[in-house]
C-alpha cells in the first residue's frame, strides 16, 4: 500500500486527495466569505 | 493588576510548566527527547503546530493591526492551506520514511554534508534572531503597560520555559502546548464576549461603522508588488513563506514528525490548513471591534500611555496638552457624525446617511492627523526607545482599561502562554539542530545515546540563555512587532525552501551546485532588502526562485566535472 492510498480513517473522505480538495475548498470558502463581508458593509 | 489577576496569571503559567515537567519525567532516550517517541495523535499535533506558530506577538500585536489597518493582514495567511497540502503530500512522507530527527538531515542524504550544514546554519541564524524577538516583544509591552521591570519580566518568563523545555524536550513542548492553547483560546474568547457586551451599538451597526472606515477590506486583488498585503502576495509569497516555515523550519518539522503515524501527522497539518485563516480573522476582527468601541469611547491619543506621561514629564507639557485638546475636539465631532449616521441608517434616510458618513470619515481623518502628530512628537523624544509601533499597545490598553479583574489576569496569562508555547518549540528545535546537525555530525560521531541526550539538553539551555541575553540587550524595534518577526523569516526562508525544493523535485542538481546557488541567492535577497522597497513576502518567492534557478545554471556549468547527483533517498 502506498502512502497516498493509505486510508484516511475519515468517514466522508476516503482518500488523501479528497481531504486535500476539501481543505482547498475551505480556503476558497473563507476568501469568498471575507470578500462578501467587505461587500455587505462597504 | 489586582491580586486576583496575579493568582490567575502565576497559577496558570507555573501550573502548566509543572504539569509538563511531571508528565515528561520518564524521558530517558534521544528519540523520546527529540521526537516524543513518535506517539502523538493528530489533535495534539494540530494544536502543537498552531501553538508554535502563534506567539505572544500574535495576540498582542495582531488586534493592533486590525485596529489600525483592518482585516487586510489576514491575506498573509492565504498561502498556508496550499503549502500545508504540499507538505503533507510530499515533504512529510519522506521525512517519516527517512526517520530523521531534523529536516536538514534530509539535505545531507540528498546532497552532501556542506549543504546540510548550510541549511541548518541558515535555520539557526534566523530562528536564533527570531527567538530573541519572541521573548523581548511581549516583555517590552507588558512591562511598559504594567510598570514591571523589563529585565525581571524577561528573566522570569524565559527561565520558566527553559526549565521545562530542557527537562522534558519535545514531549514537554507538546504536552504543555495543549493547556497553553486552552488558556489562550479561553482568554481571547472572554475578551470577545466582554467586548461585544460593552459595545454601545449592535453588531450590525458596529460592522457598518467598521466598513465605513474601510476596516473590513480583507481581500485586495491589486497587482501592485509594493503593497505589503494583497491577495497575490499572500497567495504566492505566502505559499513560499508557509512552505519554508512549515516544511523546512525545524521548530515546526519537529512538531509533526512526532506523530504516531503518517495519518496522524497529516491530519494535524490539515487541521491547521482549515482553521488558521478563521483564527487569524477572529483575532483581527477583535482589533476592528476595539476600533469601533473607541469610536464611541474616547481613546488615548497615544496608546502607550506610560511613555506618553513620561514624555510629558520630561519637558514642556503644553504641546502635549494642546494635542490632547485638539484630539478631544476631533473625536467629539466624529462621535456626533457617527451617531447621526447610524440614526439616519435606522430611519432609512439614505441621503442623510451618506452625508453623515462622509462627515464622520472627514472627522476621522482630522483625529488621525492629530494622532500622527502625537506619534511624531513621541519619536522625537530623547532616550525614548519608542520605535515600537503604538498599534502594539492598543489591545493591552483596552484590556487594562475596560476588562474586569480576573479577566485581565486571564488575558495576560494568555499572552504569556503564547510566549512560552512558541519559545519552547524554538528552543527545542535550536537544541535539536545544534546536536544532530553539528555536534553529532562534526564533533562526536560515535557517542552513546545518553551522551547525545545530555548534549541536547545543554544546547537547549545555551540557546535559551542566548535568547534571554538577546532580549535583555535588545532595545530598538523599527516595525510593528509581528511584522519584524515575519521580515526576519522572509529574508532567510526563501533560500532554505529553494534548497529543499531542489532536493525534492530537481534530481539532476548535485550538492556543490545547490550550495553555491544558495549562497548567491541569499546575497541577492540581502541586497534587495537593503536597496528596494519590495513587500517582504516577495523575498520568500525571490529567494526560492533564485536558489532553484542558480542551481540549474551552476549544475549545467559544472556537470562535466562533478559526480552524478544523489538520487532522492528512500531509506534511513
Q: B87-96 pLDDT, tens per residue? A: 999 999 999 9
The model's confidence at residue B560, banded by pLDDT at 50, 70 and 90, is low
Domain span at residue A27? 1-42
CATH superfamily of B3-23+41-293+401-558: Sodium/glucose cotransporter (1.20.1730.10)
For chain A, the domain total comes to 1
Q: Which residue has the higher pLDDT, B349 or B380?
A: B349
Q: Counting one residue from A and one from B, how many pairs have CB atoms under 8 Å apart?
A: 66
The model's confidence at residue B488, banded by pLDDT at 50, 70 and 90, is confident
pLDDT at B204 over 90: yes
Out of B207, B267, B278, closest to residue A30 by CB: B278
Q: Which of B32-36, B290-294, B509-513 has the lowest mean pLDDT?
A: B32-36
Interface subset of B 420-439, CB within 8 angstroms of A: none
Q: Indicate the burial class of B303 (C-beta count within 10 angstroms; 0-12, 13-18, 19 or more).
A: buried
pLDDT at B8 over 70: yes
Torsion sign (Cα): B126, B128, B129, B131: positive
Closest approach of A1 to chain B, Cα-based (Å): 13
Out of A8, A27, A34, closest to residue B219 by CB: A34
Neighbouring CB atoms inside 10 A of B347's CB total 10
Sort out which chain B residues have CB atoms less than 8 A from A40's CB and list them.
Answer: 207, 211
DSSP code per residue over A1-14: --TTTS----SS--
Structure confidence by residue, pLDDT tens digits, B378-419: 877 665 544 557 888 899 889 988 888 888 888 888 888 888
Q: Which residue has the higher pLDDT, B147 or B553?
A: B553
Please give the DSSP secondary-structure letter assigned to residue B235: I
The model's confidence at residue B231, banded by pLDDT at 50, 70 and 90, is very high
What is the per-residue pLDDT for B478? 47
Structure confidence by residue, pLDDT tens digits, B103-161: 999 999 999 999 999 999 989 988 887 777 777 777 877 787 778 888 888 888 888 88
- Residues B219 and B98: their CA atoms lie apart, in Å, by 40
Instruction: Answer yes or no: do A41 and B270 touch at CB < 8 A.
Output: no
**Residue of A10, A12, A23 to mutate when probing chain B, most B C-beta within 10 A:** A23
Looking up cell 451618506, which residue turns up? B354
Domain ranges for chain B, please list them. 3-23+41-293+401-558
Burial A23-42 (b: 16+ CB within 10 A, else e): beebbeebbeebeebbeebe
Interface subset of B 457-486, CB within 8 angstroms of A: none
The three cell numbers of residue B339 are 451617531
What is the per-residue pLDDT for A1? 46
Instruction: Answer yes or no: do A23 and B85 touch at CB < 8 A.
Output: yes
- Residues B517 and B501: their CA atoms lie apart, in Å, by 13
Amino acid at each position: 500500500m502506498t502512502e497516498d492510498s493509505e486510508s484516511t480513517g475519515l468517514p466522508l473522505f476516503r482518500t488523501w486527495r479528497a481531504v486535500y480538495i476539501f481543505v482547498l475548498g475551505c480556503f476558497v470558502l473563507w476568501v469568498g466569505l471575507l470578500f462578501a463581508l467587505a461587500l455587505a458593509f462597504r | 493588576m489586582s491580586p486576583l489577576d496575579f493568582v490567575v496569571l502565576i497559577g496558570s503559567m507555573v501550573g502548566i510548566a509543572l504539569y509538563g515537567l511531571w508528565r515528561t519525567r520518564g524521558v530517558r532516550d534521544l528519540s523520546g527527547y527529540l521526537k516524543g517517541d513518535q506517539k502523538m495523535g493528530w489533535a495534539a499535533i494540530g494544536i502543537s503546530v498552531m501553538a508554535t506558530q502563534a506567539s505572544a506577538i500574535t495576540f498582542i500585536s495582531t488586534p493592533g493591526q486590525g485596529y489600525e489597518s483592518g482585516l487586510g493582514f489576514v491575506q498573509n495567511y492565504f498561502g498556508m492551506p496550499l503549502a500545508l497540502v504540499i507538505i503533507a503530500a510530499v515533504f512529510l512522507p519522506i521525512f517519516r520514511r527517512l526517520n530523521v530527527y531534523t529536516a536538514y538531515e534530509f539535505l545531507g542524504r540528498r546532497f552532501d554534508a556542506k549543504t546540510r550544514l548550510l541549511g541548518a546554519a541558515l535555520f539557526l541564524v534566523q530562528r536564533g534572531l527570531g527567538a530573541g524577538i519572541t521573548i523581548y516583544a511581549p516583555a517590552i509591552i507588558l512591562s511598559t503597560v504594567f510598570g514591571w521591570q523589563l529585565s525581571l519580566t524577561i528573566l522570569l518568563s524565559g527561565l520558566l520555559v527553559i526549565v521545562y523545555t530542557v527537562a522534558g524536550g519535545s514531549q514537554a513542548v507538546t504536552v504543555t502546548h495543549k493547556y497553553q492553547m486552552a488558556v489562550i483560546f479561553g482568554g481571547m474568547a472572554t475578551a470577545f464576549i466582554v467586548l461585544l457586551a460593552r459595545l454601545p451599538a449592535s453588531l450590525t451597526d458596529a460592522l457598518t461603522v467598521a466598513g465605513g472606515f474601510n476596516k473590513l477590506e480583507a481581500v485586495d486583488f491589486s497587482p501592485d508588488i509594493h503593497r505589503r498585503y494583497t491577495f497575490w502576495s499572500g497567495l504566492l509569497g505566502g505559499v513560499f513563506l508557509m512552505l519554508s516555515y512549515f516544511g523546512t523550519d525545524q521548530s515546526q518539522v519537529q512538531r509533526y514528525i512526532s506523530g504516531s503515524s503518517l495519518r496522524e501527522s497529516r491530519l494535524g497539518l490539515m487541521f491547521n490548513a482549515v482553521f488558521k485563516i478563521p483564527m487569524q480573522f477572529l483575532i483581527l476582527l477583535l482589533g476592528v471591534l476595539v476600533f469601533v468601541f473607541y469610536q464611541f469611547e474616547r481613546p488615548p491619543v497615544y496608546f502607550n500611555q506610560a511613555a506618553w506621561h513620561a514624555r510629558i514629564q520630561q519637558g514642556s507639557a503644553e504641546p502635549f496638552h494642546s494635542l490632547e485638546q485638539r484630539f478631544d475636539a476631533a473625536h467629539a465631532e466624529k462621535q456626533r457624525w457617527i451617531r447621526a449616521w447610524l440614526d439616519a441608517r435606522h430611519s432609512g434616510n439614505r441621503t442623510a446617511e451618506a452625508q453623515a458618513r462622509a462627515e464622520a470619515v472627514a472627522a476621522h481623518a482630522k483625529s488621525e492627523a492629530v494622532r500622527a502628530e502625537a506619534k511624531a512628537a513621541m519619536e522625537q523624544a530623547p532616550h525614548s526607545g519608542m520605535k515600537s509601533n503604538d498599534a502594539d499597545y492598543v489591545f493591552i490598553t483596552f484590556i487594562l482599561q475596560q476588562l474586569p479583574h480576573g479577566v485581565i489576569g486571564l488575558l495576560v496569562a494568555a499572552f504569556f502562554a503564547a510566549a512560552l508555547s512558541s519559545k519552547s518549540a524554538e528552543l527545542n528545535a535550536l537544541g535539536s539542530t545544534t546536536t544532530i546537525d553539528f555536534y553529532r555530525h562534526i564533533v562526536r560521531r560515535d557517542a552513546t545515546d545518553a551522551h547525545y541526550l545530555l548534549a541536547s539538553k545543554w544546547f537547549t539551555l545555551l540557546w535559551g540563555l542566548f535568547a534571554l541575553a538577546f532580549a535583555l540587550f535588545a532595545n530598538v524595534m523599527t516595525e510593528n512587532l509581528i511584522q519584524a518577526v515575519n521580515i526576519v523569516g522572509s529574508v532567510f526562508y526563501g533560500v532554505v525552501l529553494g534548497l529543499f525544493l531542489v532536493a525534492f523535485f530537481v534530481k539532476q542538481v548535485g550538492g556543490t551546485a545547490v550550495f553555491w546557488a544558495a549562497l548567491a541567492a541569499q546575497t541577492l535577497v540581502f541586497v534587495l532588502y537593503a536597496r528596494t522597497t519590495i513587500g517582504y513576502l516577495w523575498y520568500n518567492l525571490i529567494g526560492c526562485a533564485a536558489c532553484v534557478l542558480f542551481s540549474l545554471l551552476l549544475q549545467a556549468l559544472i556537470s562535466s566535472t562533478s559526480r552524478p547527483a544523489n538520487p532522492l533517498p528512500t531509506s534511513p
